[in-house]
């Protein structure tokens, strides 16, 4: 892309592959949805989301408690970069990375557009106060906590 055109665009409007590391991290809206456990039907391969959150998801701050080591600490922690292309369903439909990888605009509530996470919290995009830690749910009981995204 010519530099003149790039200069006119906000980084969240650029092709996702052109973002530098800082821009990539800033694109995350902090919703925490990718930290929810998923179930896969062995026969159909269908993916189901649950409201069960990873034990390292801090529900007070809406942050990962082991972000730098997350891949080593949690085997099924989704690597967004790796799944975007082949398994986008493993990323929530509102996720900024999924949207931009499909060349779709961010939702208006995204903190980068709105200036704060307040409206996003009010709209219930964040999983804060809506999830339950895996510490309190036996893996055999995840199916009792299946959810669906209204945005799907």
Q: Which of 131, 150, 125 is nearest to 37 (CA)?
A: 131
Residue (3 or 76) nearer to ligand SF4, CB: 76
Least Å from the CB of residue 92 to ligand SF4: 5
The verdict on 80 binding ligand SF4 (CB under 6 A) reads yes
Q: Find the part of the chain contacting ligand SF4 (CB under 6 A) among 5-13, 14-22, 64-72, 100-108.
A: 64-72
Q: What's the Cα-to-Cα distance from 58 to each of 3, 119, 131, rounded to whole Å? A: 40, 20, 11
Q: Is residue 52 exposed (0-12), middle (13-18) or buried (19+ Cβ within 10 Å)?
A: buried
Least Å from the CB of residue 126 to ligand SF4: 8
Query: How big is the chain, counted in residues?
Result: 152
Under the rule (CB under 6 A), what is the footprint of ligand SF4? 28-35, 54, 56-57, 64, 66, 70, 73-74, 77, 80, 92, 95-97
């Amino acid at each position: 892309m010519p530099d003149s055109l790039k200069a006119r665009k906000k980084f969240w409007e650029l092709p996702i592959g052109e973002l530098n590391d800082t821009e990539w991290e800033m694109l995350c809206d902090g919703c925490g949805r990718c930290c929810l456990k998923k179930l896969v039907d062995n026969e159909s391969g269908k993916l189901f989301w649950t409201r069960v959150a990873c034990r390292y998801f801090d529900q007070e701050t809406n942050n990962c408690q082991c972000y730098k080591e997350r891949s080593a600490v949690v085997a099924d922690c989704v690597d967004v970069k790796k799944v975007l292309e082949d398994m986008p369903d493993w990323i929530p439909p509102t996720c900024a990375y999924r949207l931009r990888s499909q060349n779709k605009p961010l939702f208006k509530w995204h903190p980068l557009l709105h200036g704060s996470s307040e409206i996003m919290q009010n709209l219930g995009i964040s999983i804060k106060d809506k999830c339950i830690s895996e510490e309190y749910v036996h893996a055999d009981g995840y199916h009792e906590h299946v959810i669906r995204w209204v945005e799907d």
